[in-house]
Amino acid sequence: MADFVRVENKDGIGTIRLDRPPINALNIQVQEELRAAATAFSADPEVRAVIVYGGEKVFAAGADIKEMADMSYVDMAARAAALSSALGILAGIPKPVVAAITGYALGGGCELALACDWRVVADDAKLGQPEVKLGVIPGGGGTQRLARLVGPARAKDLVFSGRMVDAEEALRIGLADRVVPAAEVYDTAVALVRPYTEGPAQALRAGKLAIDGGLEMDLASGLAWESQLFAGLFATEDKREGMAAFVEKRKPRFTGR
C-alpha cells in the first residue's frame, strides 16, 4: 500500500493522486510510488487513459529540498538516473495522460507535468523550474522536455531565471493546454481524456509512440518508424472493426485489441 500516491480506476480513467501534504514534495519515496503507479496503469487493460492530480490545493511544489540538502555529488550521481527514469516511466505510459494542475507545479512538480501528454491548469496556478535559485538545474527532465515543448529560447529563459509563469503565460507559450477555474481542473481533465476510453487503444498507443519516438529521430528515421507502427496496426481487431464500421456506415465498437 503506497503512502503518498493513491490510484483509482473509474470508467476506464485511472487517476494517480499525489497525497503528501502540504505541498506534495517529491521525495524519493514519492518518486518510487509514482514509478509503481505508472507501471501498473501501463499494464492494466482496464485503464484506457490517465490523470495525474495533486488535489484541490497544489499539484506538486517541487522536490524535497530537506532530503537533498545534505546529499553529495556521489549521493546524487547514484540517485539522479532513478529520478529521471521514474518520470520516464510515467511519460512512457502507452495511453493518453493529462496533468490536472492546481496551485503550484514547480521544479520536480513541473517536470512531472511535462511528462504528461497535456496539462490542464488552474487559472491561478504557477509553474516553473526554480532550481537555479538553489544552485542546481532541473534533474528530472526539465531541461529536455521543456525545451522540446516550448522551444530552447523559452526553456532557457525559465531555467536560467528560475521564474514562475502564471496560467496565461503558460497557455501562450504552450506549457498549458487548457486553463480553467481551479474548481474545474479535475473535471476538465476527465472530459479531455474520456473520449479515449472507448477509442482504439492500440492505435492510440502507436500514435503516442510515433510522435514521442519520432521527436528523437531525423525525419527519414521518424517516417520509417511511423510506417512500421502503421503497418503493425493492420494486425489488430480494432483495425478490422474500424474499417468495417466505416464501410457499413455505423459507429465502431472498439475493444482495444
- Residues tagged active-site: 111, 131
Short-list 123, 65, 63, 56, CA closest to 87: 63
CA distance 245 to 251: 6
CA distance 161 to 171: 19
Instruction: Give the H or E element holding residue 18.
Output: strand 13-18
Query: Taking a C-beta distance cutoff of 8 angstroms, is the pair 203, 233 a contact?
Result: yes
> Which spans in the chain are helix H?
28-43, 65-68, 73-91, 108-114, 142-150, 152-161, 167-173, 185-193, 201-214, 219-232, 237-247
Tell me the three state secondary structure of residue 20: coil
b/e per residue, 143-170, with b = 16+ CB within 10 A?
bebbbeebeeebbeebbeebebbbbeeb
